[in-house]
Amino acid sequence: MQTIVTVVLLWMHSFVCKRAPGRSGRHHAVNDLVVHSFAAAAAGAPVTKEPARLSRMDGKRPDGLTLVPWQSGKSLCWDVTMICFLAESYVNGVAREASAAAEVAASRKEQKYADLDSRYLFDSIAVETLGVLNSSDNSLLKEIGNKISLNTGESREVSFLHQRILVLVQRFNAILLHDSLPTIDCTD
């Protein structure tokens, strides 16, 4: 029984610890999917990752920027964040509402980039470790999926985009879980 508890604690730690191997890979993979989706949605519209000219005073910058106007003549900046609802600070909120951790993380990102130039729109893409998205993500992904549908003629692109994100998150969760398991010597 103690071994199971130890494994569960190691597993939880791998999802919460900022230094856990695989966490940054999961973030970059989701951002790459978003970049690819924007390009597919706007028939190859150029986007850039981590645009240098949008740096804050502390050097932090959004994960991406459309280089052509996305809506209302403004380019869209986005920042991806992966949030673990198992962190102690989110448990009470998640117990009441499934997307509570994602909503909190999204609002923190919006505050972080509130001083962006008025020439840009900003959207945070907050994904919980089990794949729950914040509400603005759902509307942004729906907009992107609808634009992809116009280009491809496939009406299910919104669902496909959500599924790709969920599968990607679960793949990296499996990596985090695998890397947190203790090694067992089977030579006995």
C-alpha–C-alpha distance, residues 180 and 187, integer Å: 21
Q: Three-state secondary structure along 68-84?
A: CCCECCEEEEEEEEEEC
Print pLDDT tens along the chain (188 aa).
555 545 455 556 566 666 666 667 888 899 999 998 888 776 567 889 988 877 667 777 899 999 888 888 999 999 998 887 766 666 667 667 777 788 888 888 888 888 887 778 999 898 888 778 888 777 888 888 888 898 888 999 999 998 999 899 888 888 877 776 666 666 65
Q: Which two tokens stand for residue 72?
A: 């209302």
pLDDT of residue 167: 92
pTM as predicted: 0.80
C-alpha–C-alpha distance, residues 128 and 88, integer Å: 14
pLDDT of residue 164: 92
Domain layout of the chain by residue ranges = 21-170
Dihedral pair phi/psi, residue 119, rounded to 5°:
-75, -5
The residues with which 123 forms a beta bridge, in sequence order, are 78
* Paired sense of beta strands 75-83 and 64-66, if any: antiparallel
Nearest to 175 by CA among 49, 11, 30: 11
Say how many residues make up the chain: 188
pLDDT of residue 155: 92
pLDDT of residue 27: 85
* Relative orientation angle of helices 157-180 and 135-152, to the nearest 10 degrees: 120
pLDDT of residue 21: 63
pLDDT of residue 105: 84
Q: Which two tokens stand for residue 158?
A: 């919104």
